[in-house]
Structures are given as C-alpha cells and as structure tokens.
Structure 1
Amino acid sequence: MTSTILQLSDPFGQVACRESGQGEPLVLIHGVGMQSAAWAPQIEALSGSRHVIALDLPGHGGSDRIAARSELPVFLDWLLAVLDALQLPAVSLAGHSMGALIAGGFAVRHPERVARVALLNGVFRRDDVARNSVIARAEMIRAGAFDLDTPLKRWFGDTPIERAARDDVAAWLAAVDNDGYATAYDAFARGDALYADGYARITCPLLALTGGDDPNSTPAMSRAMARAAQRGTAEIIENHRHMVNLTAPDAVNAALQTWLETPIAQGEPT
C-alpha cells in the first residue's frame, strides 16, 4: 500500500489517499472524524482484484480543509476534482456514514462517473426528531464542545472485536482537526435529504448496508435507499452497530465483493 498526496486546484488544496492493488478502480470515502486508515480491512481484502483508493476527507488525515460551513454539494465538487486529478473517468464508489452521503449524492449528480455505489451506514431522510438532534450536535461541535465518549458509546458494544475497533476509532477522533470535523459534521447533519429524491434516477448497482443495531444509520434507512434506487440491494449485518466495516469485516467484505461482481447495464460507465 502506498500513501499519495494529490494537489488539486483552489479551493481544495492537497488530498491524501492510500492506494493498493491493480485493476478496476474502487474509491472509498470514510465518515466524519475518521481517516482513510479506517478502511484497512477492506483495502486488504479487495485490493487483490481492484485498484483500491481510500481518500482522506477534507480536514481529516492528511487532506487540507475546505471553507468552513461548506455544505454537501461542496464535498461532491471536491470528489469530482479528486477523480479528475486521478484521471478516473468512472469508478465503483463506496462510502461510510458521511462518506455514504457523498457517494449517494455523487451518484445522483454525476451518474456518468459511477459504475457502482455502496452506502455503508448511510443516513436517509431522518425524521424531525433525529434531524434536530444531529443539528444540535453539529452546533456544539462548531462551538468547540467535542465529546469523544458519546459517539463511541453509540457506535460500539463490548465484544472483544468492538473494543479493539473502539480504540482505533478513539485515536482517529482524538487526532482530527476540529475545524475540519465541524465542517464535515455540519454537512452531514443537514444533508440527509438533499439528494434523496434523486435516488430514483440511480441506475447502477447500489448496495445499502448497515448494522442491525445502528440507532442512527438504521436498517429502515438502508432498506429505503435500496428501494428508491432502480437496482438497489439492502444488507443488514445483525448484532453490529455503526462501525460495521471494522467490527464485522468478513461479512462486509463479502457483501462488497458480491456488489463489485454485479454486472453493470449496457451503456453505464465502466
């Protein structure tokens, strides 16, 4: 695996990514507060047959920030600039949490650049109570009230594999740039319905996967995303929560492998 720095034009600056393998490109986008290292089990498992590229979101890991209070469309513009810099006309695109919001919106806005899309622990049309709660958390983060324990308690149980994953996630959260975190979280809080109506226009294979015990990126949301798309499939990993790609890597990798082997329709990007 190699670490790469891409230099984009203004306003996006530098983007850090991890690359491994050869073949058809698979681009991975992590969630708020994480970094590309959070995809380690998927990079290891899938790079035997794909060119896997895991990106650091703006203001995360080694990537430069974008403007404060940038909304979800700016993150889509950022991803388009990254794919252009990598000279990738079309990719299989997988995102986790905030990364899933970006991937889903990108598939709506730029269908010609997406051969397949996978949405792990994604959010979709929150109800008013959930939306108000997450917006309130976004405002607290913006004000500098960074609470490490609350997301960890929400994301993890107490099994050995969850405790190990929790330690890694805690370290990534503790290291994140607060301004970058606040900007991404605000876009995450306000973007769950922005491209939802457009999912009906997604014609490529779509996988919506979450943990059966994820209280925020719920199984109902994944099933709704899959129903909305023309070729959608939902998969629920029971007895797991929000960081399912780390706590149930074998099950997630198997689901992603099946998704990657799903034929694309004639006329879709390759």
Structure 2
Amino acid sequence: MGCIRVGKGAALVFVHGFLSGLSYWEKQIEGLSNHFEVIAMDLPGYGGETELTGCDKVADFADAVLARLDAIGISSFHLVGHSMGGMIAQEIALKAPDRVNRLVLYGTGPMGDLPGRFEPLETSRQKVLQDGTEEAKAYTVESWFIKGKQDDHYTSGMALAQPVSLQSYVNALKAMNDWSSVERLSQIQSPTLVVWGDKDRSYIWQQPHTLWENIDDTNLAVLPGCSHNAHLEKPELFNQIIRDFLIKNIGQSGITKDS
C-alpha cells in the first residue's frame, strides 16, 4: 500500500473512499501536518496500488489498513474516513477500539447499501458489467461535486478513478452493499465527529444522522453548500473543524445532542 507520512505530533490517519487515493487528501496533508503526523495511504486497488485487486469485504480493507499501520509502527492514532473509507474507519474502530483515539466519519454512514444514493449500487454494478467502467466513473465522480464537471478537482478525481480495474470496481460495490454497522454503532468507543456536506448525493441525511444518534460520544458538523467532497470544495473550513475536534476537545462541555 502506498503511504505518506508528513509532520510531527499525534498520528492522524486518513482513509480515502471509492475510486480515490491518498492524493485526495493533499489539502488536508498541507493544512494539518503542522499539528499532527499525517498519514495517508492508498487502499488495495486504488491510487498507486491499482496493480492489486481491491477487497470485496469492508473488513478486509480494515485489516489491510491496520496491517500497514503495524508495519510502520503506528500503534495508536486519530482516524478520518471518507465515504467507503468511513465504513472502513468504523470497522477499524470496532476491531481495534484501544488504538483509535478520536474518530472522524466524513461523508459516510452505517448503511452499506447506500439508501437514497443517486442510483442503487446494484444498478451501478449491472451497468459496469455490461458497459465497462468508463462512463460510470465519469458520472460517479461528477456527482461528488456541487459544480460537477466544472469543479476544479473533477479532472484530478477522474485521473484517480480511471486506472481502477473493473474487478476492483465491482468488488468495492459488493463490499459496501454487503456491509452494515447499524446494529454495532453503540460499540464504538472513540469520541466521534460526524461531518457531512448538506448537498451530498451519495450519503443522504439518514446516514450521518444515524451515526450521530447511535454512537455514544458524538458531535455533528454539517458543511453548507458542499457535496460529497466537501474537503476539496471547502478545505479551510473542513480542516478547521477537524483540527478543533482533535485539539480543542469540542464536545467536552456545552451543547450536546441531548441538550
């Protein structure tokens, strides 16, 4: 797995989502490495690891991330997971609760079948099996931005998506569709921040709301005027929210979801 480590301080691990890679976190690496040792890695089948076939189980992706962290000597860490990476992050927090200090679940949810997505996962699977992945990758990446193809990051998003193999693509859809954490959310022990763009078409409000309501120690941040890739659309705001949660310990006092 390709991996980058930048900065000093508490370890902060970023896990990317479907059709993405570690370079998706460029603005977070730049903005947060003055405060943390930022670690980002490519999942099997993605980014610099497209020669590998991506996993067909979320739990296997989680094991791959933990194995990589073991290999580089990271025993405890803050964890940020985006989209499918947020599912992986939930699985890591459940598998290794003593290792995850604080957890950020961003643009994600506990329902792997993605209710309310711009199209059902099974529809996406059937399309790519029939027609290949080129068109599917284009409309999927376009859906992640408010401005669609006009967003400055669409081209770089497509550059990451295009090398992903058909098998890795299909495996990821299966991994997500077969996975759920709904019944296990109360087992997550790490203080958690849920981050969601209010125009996200991949993970509708039901998804972050379920996380917020069912993880015991949880804060919620809704980013206005953002779609699925809020960390690229409003990186300064995104980074500030993450930094405040990890450093200033928001949620220790003040308004809570039960107030």
TM-score of the alignment, normalized to the shorter chain, above 0.5: yes
- For normalisation by structure 1, the TM-score amounts to 0.83
After TM superposition, the structure 1 stretch with the greater mean CA deviation from structure 2, 66-75 or 108-117, is 66-75
Question: Shift in Å at residue 166 of structure 1?
Answer: 1.4
Task: Give TM-score, length-normalised by structure 2.
Answer: 0.86
Aligned partner letter, 2:147: D
Partner of 1:167: 155
Of 123, 131, 140, the residue aligned with 1:136 is 123
Aligned: 1:180 with 2:180: no
Q: Structure 2 vs 1, CA of residues 21 and 143 (structure 1 numbering), >3 Å: closer, same or farther?
A: farther
Alpha-carbon spacing, 1:50–1:123, altered in 2? closer, same or farther (3 Å): same
Mapped pair 1:198 → 2:187: no
The aligned runs of 1:42-81 (5 Å cut-off) are 42-63=28-49, 70-81=56-67
Structure 1 unpaired stretches of 5+: 1-14, 265-270
Whole-angstrom CA distance in 2 between matches of 1:177 and 1:201: 35
Residues of 1 paired with 2:89 and 2:100: CA distance?
9
Q: Once the two structures are superposed, what CA deviation does each residue of 1:233-262 show, in whole Å capped at 9, x if it has no partner?
A: 111111111111111111111111012125
State whether residues 100 and 120 of structure 1, in contact with CA within 8 Å, keep that contact through their aligned partners in structure 2: yes
Superposed CA RMSD: 2.6
> How far apart in 1 are the matches of 2:51 and 2:194?
28
Instruction: Report the secondary structure of 1:59's partner residue.
Output: coil
Q: What 5-or-longer segments of structure 2 have no aligned partner?
A: 251-259
Q: Distance in 1 between matches of 2:129 and 2:69?
A: 29
How many aligned residue pairs are there? 248
- For residue 188 of structure 1, report the CA deviation from its aligned partner: 2.2
Q: Percent identity?
A: 26
For residues 32 and 87 of structure 1, what CA distance do their matches in structure 2 show?
26
Equivalent residue for 1:98?
84
**SS of structure 2 residue aligned to 1:208:** strand
Displacement, 1:66?
5.8
Please give the secondary structure, in 2, of the residue aligned with 1:44: helix
| Partners of 1:51 and 1:208 in 2: CA distance | 21
